[in-house]
Structure 1
């Protein structure tokens, strides 16, 4: 037996009536009728007591008899089983696990801090009860192991490898999907169903955080400058074309070069330019 088996026990209400009959009848027989045999009914009532139990919604009881698995009770209600059965309580409710922030190395060897949020529940009570010692602890340990493995498969960002399309920071949808798949494979042995798994916290480790921040800022500045220059070239090109088309002024190559230089300085400068008024000719 290596799979879950559903046990449908006897309702506890008829048996509680029988229990009261044995108990009250035995006590009355001893106290009123003075019948020694009435003690048997009292003993039977006491023996029946461990057989009663109840199951709340989204809970279960795993039944064993002298080490032999007898099934799992998942129905809600009040029940009675063999008083010798051992009844292990296992919750079927969804649970939320927020892992600690772990320091791990990404694909490029950079130390990063990462944590994961996992939503899970017990799917197969047999595996949860007998395949692992403590299924709650098993979930914690395997989640940490899965996070470490996942972080080593992706770079934090694609600064050093522009051909790498997926990174921990930019490819969260794919990363979270692979994290769920990894956890499902690891936790299946304990009968655990993964409802959701996603990265909850992600950042560079403290020792390189400032350096990486400056690197990100420099990359953003270079990208912004590239866009500015690209736009400025288009504006200068359009200006020269309009001046030539409308014949507003006749510019030779030297004057065009000077105009282009001045416009590029004005358009690409990160500070306000100071205009200079020429009171002479264009050649001075």
Structure 2
């Protein structure tokens, strides 16, 4: 539904006019009782009724607020200008906040792309932009935002794995926070756009494996970290052994046959890759003893 900018009168001017009508009605009524004809008393009463009728037309709007005006079931416009206003007293007025709001969602249990049960929650910042859509296109726009936010989060969690596997470099919930937040924001905007809502920010506030698999997944992560560390250690150790053999050969310090080279490589790898400090053994005999 298209938003229409409504028209109102200045509240201060109408207030001054209403006081003039009140004073005039009192003067006419008193004069009619003292010296005037009876129809002047009726005129004074009529003016007083007009004064009473004008009072419900006053309303105020604070910054970042809007007032939706409805006349006998028909949408007549929206007032967004802050200040004191006066409009037709027959208008039904509905005030809507245009300020940014937060949704700190509860933790929900869902399955990720790989079927693993996880716990996930999100923080969403949103505000109303189109007041006509917010009031007339959905029953209750606040409840609509809450329900659709949870639905979008559940759908998002099923689109990505919790974490990348060893051979995968796709987007994951844990490793791609910015990409996941952008995807969540876009999906929320598609769902909430029909309610006149703009999603300003959406980010995951909680992400964890479900308790029933948390221990097993922790062991898996620890094993992957140990393997990755061992790979780095082995790569570095092989490079150092190669460098040592090259230096010995270039500087002609000692000539080693293939068997002695293999023994030296084995000893160096044990020293460099071992978790504990090695205990040296001094050979006091010949090289071949």
- Establish whether residue 83 from structure 1 lines up as the match of residue 99 from structure 2: no
Of 80-89 and 172-181, deviating more is 172-181
Q: How many Å separate the matches in 2 of 1:25 and 1:273?
A: 109
TM-score by length of 2: 0.93
Cα distance change of structure 1 residues 240 and 164 upon mapping to structure 2, 3 Å threshold: closer
TM-score by length of 1: 0.95
Give 1:259's match in structure 2, choosing from 234, 255, 264.
Answer: 264
Once the two structures are TM-superposed, the CA of residue 46 in structure 1 deviates from its matched residue by: 1.0
- Establish whether residue 137 from structure 1 lines up as the match of residue 143 from structure 2: yes
Q: How many Å separate the matches in 1 of 2:185 and 2:46?
A: 58
Q: Which runs of 4+ in 1 moved over 6 A?
A: none
Give 1:40's match in structure 2, choosing from 10, 22, 46.
Answer: 46
Once the two structures are TM-superposed, the CA of residue 163 in structure 1 deviates from its matched residue by: 3.0
- Establish whether residue 113 from structure 1 lines up as the match of residue 132 from structure 2: no
Once the two structures are TM-superposed, the CA of residue 87 in structure 1 deviates from its matched residue by: 0.5
Q: How many Å separate the matches in 2 of 1:159 and 1:82?
A: 65
Q: How many Å separate the matches in 2 of 1:149 and 1:269?
A: 47
**1:95-131: per-residue Cα shift (whole Å, max 9, x none)?**
1221111111100011111111111111100000011
Q: How many Å separate the matches in 2 of 1:122 and 1:254?
A: 79
**1:174-224: per-residue Cα shift (whole Å, max 9, x none)?**
211111110111001100011111212211112211211111111011001
Find the counterpart in structure 2 of residue 183 from structure 1. Answer: 188
Find the counterpart in structure 2 of residue 163 from structure 1. Answer: 168
Q: How many Å separate the matches in 1 of 2:30 and 2:211?
A: 79
Q: How many Å separate the matches in 1 of 2:211 and 2:30?
A: 79
- Establish whether residue 194 from structure 1 lines up as the match of residue 193 from structure 2: no
Structure 1, unaligned stretches of length 5 or more? none
Q: Secondary structure at the match of 1:153?
A: coil
Task: Please provide the CA RMSD for this pair.
Answer: 1.5
Find the counterpart in structure 2 of residue 209 from structure 1. Answer: 214
Find the counterpart in structure 2 of residue 243 from structure 1. Answer: 248
Find the counterpart in structure 2 of residue 3 from structure 1. Answer: 2
Q: How many Å separate the matches in 1 of 2:11 and 2:127?
A: 28
